[in-house]
Amino acid sequence: EKVTPEQAKIQLGFNTSTTYLLFFGQIKTAKRLDVLIKSMKHVKGDVKLVVAGRPWKDDFSKYDLLISELKLEQKIEKFIRFVTDEERELFMKACDVMVLPYEDVYQSAALLMAMSYGLAIITSDIDSFKEVIRPGENGLMFKSLDEEDLSDKINSLLNDSEMLSQLQQGALKSIATEFSWNNIALQYKKTLNL
């Protein structure tokens, strides 16, 4: 709470008037960063993608090559390394939207963390995200592996400040209610018939 979004942008060397999308966490093939990078060629306006995290059983050089082939060097900020808790705080505050283009995942700590910071969320429409995201309420979903549908969702969200604000508030509300410790304890109590 001590750091404002503008201060976080300044500390990271970001432009305070640019909109930032965030891909955060371990970089794995199943998370389909390539789909997000390809979508960036269709994203309009002063928008940049921040990629923060280190590869796990993946080689970042293929993403560098893709960025170069698509001439997206000016639209992507890379922090390809271990991210400290303090840096994570800055990324979560400096960015406006978390994008999770995963093809497959059981659950995502990055999703719940981003929601707790009040970021608007865009995810692929895989089953594990459907358990958390209610489209238009606490996030948006795009057709998995469809870079054009993803860029359409990004563009429409960034051109609708009311929807952006609604999704940010919806994310915070979901965390405060559905994913609060009290609610989790009640669910365990029900499950265990206590």
99-130 pLDDT, tens per residue?
999 998 877 889 999 999 999 999 999 999 99
Going by C-beta distance under 8 Å and a sequence separation of 6 or more, which residues neighbour residue 182?
A: none
Average pLDDT in the chain: 93
Task: Report pLDDT for 46.
Answer: 97
> What separation in angstroms does the CA of 128 have from each of 14, 37, 50, 56, 115?
32, 22, 24, 21, 15
The CA distance from 144 to 179, in Å, is 25
The CA distance from 102 to 39, in Å, is 14
Task: Report pLDDT for 170.
Answer: 95
Q: 3-class DSSP state for residue 76?
A: strand
pTM, 2 dp: 0.90
> What separation in angstroms does the CA of 183 have from each of 4, 66, 114?
29, 43, 19
∠ CA 73-75-81, rounded to 5°: 70
Radius of gyration (Cα) for the chain, nearest Å? 17
73-102: pLDDT as tens digits: 999 999 999 999 999 999 999 999 999 999
Residue 130 CB coordination number (10 Å): 13
Task: Report pLDDT for 115.
Answer: 95
**Token pair recorded at residue 191:** 């499950």
Name residue 41's amino acid.
Answer: K
162-176: pLDDT as tens digits: 999 999 999 999 998
The CA distance from 138 to 174, in Å, is 7
The CA distance from 173 to 118, in Å, is 9
Under the banding of pLDDT at 50, 70 and 90, the label for residue 50 is very high
Q: Is the predicted pLDDT of residue 153 greater than 70, yes or no?
A: yes
Measured in degrees and rounded to the nearest 5, phi and psi for residue 120 equal -70, 145
